Chains A and B, each alone.
Chain A
Amino acid sequence: MLLGKSVTEILALIKNKKISSKEVIDYFLKRIEKYNKKLNAYLTVNKSYKADKSKKIKVPIAVKDNFCTKGIRTTASSKVLANFIPPYESTVTKRLIDTSFFILGKTNMDAWAHGSSTETSDFGPTKNPWDLSRCPGGSSGGSAAAVSSYLAPAAIGSETAGSIRQPGSWSGVIGLKPTYGRVSRYGLIAMASSLDCPGPLTLTTEDAAFILKIIAGKDEFDATTAPNEVPDYVASLKKKKKFIIGITDEYLNGVDCEIKNAFYQLVEILEKLGHKIKKIKLLSPKYSISVYTIIQRAEVSSNLARYDGIRYGNDRTFFGSEAKRRIMLGTYVLSYGYYDAYYKKAQKVRTLIIEDFKKVFKEVDMILAPTTPIPALKLGEFEKYPFFGEMMDVLNEPAAIAGICAISFPFGLTKKENLPIGLQLMGRWFEEENILNLTHQIEKETDFLGVIKKGVKNYPD
């Protein structure tokens, strides 16, 4: 009865007394019991649900393990925080709990969110539900895998540059990266503070809109949150808007043939639906990789300096190899004599990238592109190339650097290996409404070529 139901559908069932919150939560706990050993999507499962007297409706949701959850272990998948119990609640989880969610568990990720495979987790990799010999993507790989295999009806992830969209794409679910500052970072274990964005991974566009509405908005505890009003993202899905959509060769260079085919197939469908497609020119994404590498490592080295093992957590000898590599590079680019050559240069190129998008967004409402150049890699393939993870996020990093919003959704499977293909829409700053609106139109027209439903069916009750 529940298999594959979205958050919105489950809420309706509970409201109409077809099922109780407790039954729903028990259902997912049972599924986690059955499949989590195989997938390693959850690091911590929360079995503490008790129906209280208020009978408040609660729908379960999975949360990436870098959001502080009061009283629930939070590790960021690093042994440095192996036993850390947060004394406070992150704004995102607080807003979820205060409305109608129950934190079902904390999901695996690349340690400190450093990676694109979930293999750098100190607690073992998460497996891709579509092929257990492959990565789910990362860093929000546990969240993506949990939704794809229906071990949660939705999940929260966080993205610094690709960490929601890329695992969404590889695991065959929807991943929304909101505009920087749209969602509070308070209580999110900081990776690169000028880029980090919390966002949902879901089975339907409606759920992405529903969850964004709850978690978005000004937060007095995060001065970088924007004061812009939060629109009713769900209600605005119903408007039949027509858009001008930009496409660019810069985002198709070196992209796998089958992914390109899916891209052109969608372009045709969008034209048929009455949208205009326009060729645009953007800076090569290769510069975003460099900007991201410098800014992210610099901010990592500074943010991870606080982990001294004195007030909480273990000491710095517990850092894994990827975290150490990033701290070292960050220290290098910030060190005396190199600051101007690297950090300042990267900040200037960030300006160029922002200006580049501003210019393009005068001509088009949003940009359509593949999310990743290739489908999911095998476990272990990343390790061979220390810089390889960045290459898997090459199409995601420009939007992250510019701080704009973007959404990845599945669009078909590869023929040979039956792996999900992901495409993305990138929209103007604070125009989540529009990218959600078009994704919803695509969903209604194509059902994402059946990918999400097939994914869930692979994991029967």
Chain B
Amino acid sequence: MKKKSLSKEDVLQLSKLAGLTLVDDEIVKYKTQLEETISYIENLNELATDNVSPSSSATFLKNVFFDDGEKNKRGLNLEEVFQNTQNKEGNCFKVKKIFGE
């Protein structure tokens, strides 16, 4: 098995993309574990797939669309929408500023 390696920076970049905050121990741990997994999955290269088309699912599905103007039966009322949050102001969710002051 060929060993793939990742740098500490790679791991930090991944955690940034994924919106996760890691402590130092975790960086070291995940680096080793990700390398191990990435090395294992290389075995797929033993299989020739040049003329194979990818499958996104196994049961031959087609896209399904709702008709325009159809009533959305899954809608929630405002009370239901906000029942699980503490970040509420009026009928809005409070979020952190994306742009600077």
Contacts and interface: CB of A to CB of B under 8 A. Distances in A.
A349 B38 CA distance: 16
**Which secondary structure characterizes the binding site on chain B?**
loop
Contacts of A84: 84
B44 A345 contact: yes
B28 interface: no
A316 B15 CA distance: 11
A325 B33 CA distance: 8
A331 B38 CA distance: 12
A352 B52 contact: yes
Given A180-B59, A327-B18, A351 B30 contact: no
Interface stretch (A261-269, A289-297, A370-378): A289-297
B82 to A, nearest CB: 8
A386 to B, nearest CB: 5
Nearest to A84: B84
A224 B44 CA distance: 27
Contact of A331 (B14, B36, B59, B83): B14
B22 A352 contact: no
A30 B34 CA distance: 45
A86 to B, nearest CB: 8
A84 B85 CA distance: 9
B58 interface: yes
A181 B58 CA distance: 9
A312 interface: yes
Contacts of A88: 74, 76, 80
B69 interface: no
Interface residues of A, number: 59
A361 interface: no
Contacts of B52: 348-349, 351-352
B57 A180 contact: yes
Given A85-B84, A345-B44, 5 more contacts: A87-B76, A87-B83, A179-B59, A181-B59, A220-B73
Interface of B: 11, 14-15, 17-22, 26, 30, 33-34, 36-38, 40-41, 43-47, 49, 52-59, 61, 63-64, 73-74, 76, 80-81, 83-85, 87, 93-95
Interface of A: 83-85, 87-88, 179-181, 194, 220-221, 223-224, 226, 286-287, 289-291, 293-294, 301, 305, 308, 310-313, 316-317, 319, 321, 324-325, 327-332, 335, 342, 344-352, 354, 386-387, 401-404, 429
26 contacts: A84-B84, A85-B83, A87-B83, A180-B58, A194-B56, A221-B73, A287-B43, A287-B47, A305-B19, A310-B85, A311-B87, A316-B19, A327-B20, A328-B18, A330-B18, A332-B38, A347-B55, A347-B56, A349-B44, A350-B54, A350-B55, A351-B54, A351-B55, A401-B58, A403-B59, A429-B59
